[in-house]
Amino acid sequence: MEGASNGGMLYHEVQESKLCAMHCVNTVLQGPFFSEFDLAALASDLDRRERQMMLQAGGDFLPDPDESHNVSLDGDFSIQVLEKALEVWDLQVIPLNSPVAEPAQIDPELENAFICHLQNHWFCIRKVNGEWYNFDSLYAAPEHLSKFYLSAYLISLRGSGWSIFLVRGNFPKECPIASSESSNGYGQWLSPEDAERITKSCNSTQRTAPGSSQIRQFSDSYMQYGGGGLSLDEDDEDFKAAIAASLTDSATAVKDIPADVLADENKKSGEENIRE
């Protein structure tokens, strides 16, 4: 019988600034595979491609080269960035309300991961070693979900306006836990027992009606952070500068591309989109 992935440990990232998209991607992958700078680079590339397509179309409206549709200056990323990050690992992100995801609506416990989004917050619900956990970065530790409660929880989230995405594909089997090079500085490895102990400790201080602790815990934390995650503090100035620089570089790169090269690149990009 195949052993538990990552030695049976759970990888969790606790909310830092407005980086919940990064936390979400990494908990889907169960390891610190991406930094905020990696996602910013993906956002910049997406912006570049979008500008190229608009330039090729020759429309009257062109996006402001200093603005991005894929990352805000305070670090909030679009679903397209999450999709591109997970595509690196051959993982597909599918809206749960799409026809292809219908089996997951009926039997979600047969899947491996879901991404949840509302306003500016992202989090992951993931099956690890046969058990389901809520890896919301606003939680101190991943919270175990029974298979029965998983379905009810997803229905409750959708009824509250959350967008749910199914993640399918070949998930990474292992992450080098002991390697210092594998850490992005935000995550921690926890045994299921430690995660349960931390969760019980947190819930004991804010116990509510049975079955509602997860939604209430998120709601309290979400409102505490202003309904859109924490804002970046002075320690994140380097990240702000990196995003601003990436946007500037992307705009300059598009401006300097010769017209014939730009047209050829957009033709290739269009062919890629058709294949996808």
Catalytic pick among 20, 24, 116, 175: 20
Active site residue 136: yes
Beta bridge mates, 188: 12
Active site residue 121: yes
- Of 213, 220, 212, 219, nearest to 199 (Cα)? 213
Return the biggest CA–CA distance within the chain.
65
Strand pairing report for 121-128 and 131-134:
antiparallel
Catalytic pick among 121, 124, 175, 236: 121
Alpha helix positions (H), 145-230: 147-159, 192-204, 213-224
Q: How many CB atoms lie within 10 A of CB 128?
A: 22
Residue 253 is which amino acid? A
Q: Are 86 and 25 in contact (CB under 8 A)?
A: yes
Strand pairing report for 143-145 and 131-134:
antiparallel
Q: What is the DSSP letter of 232?
A: P
Task: Give the count of alpha carbons within 13 A of 133, CB side only.
Answer: 28
Active site residue 20: yes
Beta bridge mates, 92: 168
Residue owning tokens 């269009």: 270
Catalytic pick among 74, 76, 136, 236: 136
Annotated catalytic sites, by residue?
Answer: 20, 121, 136
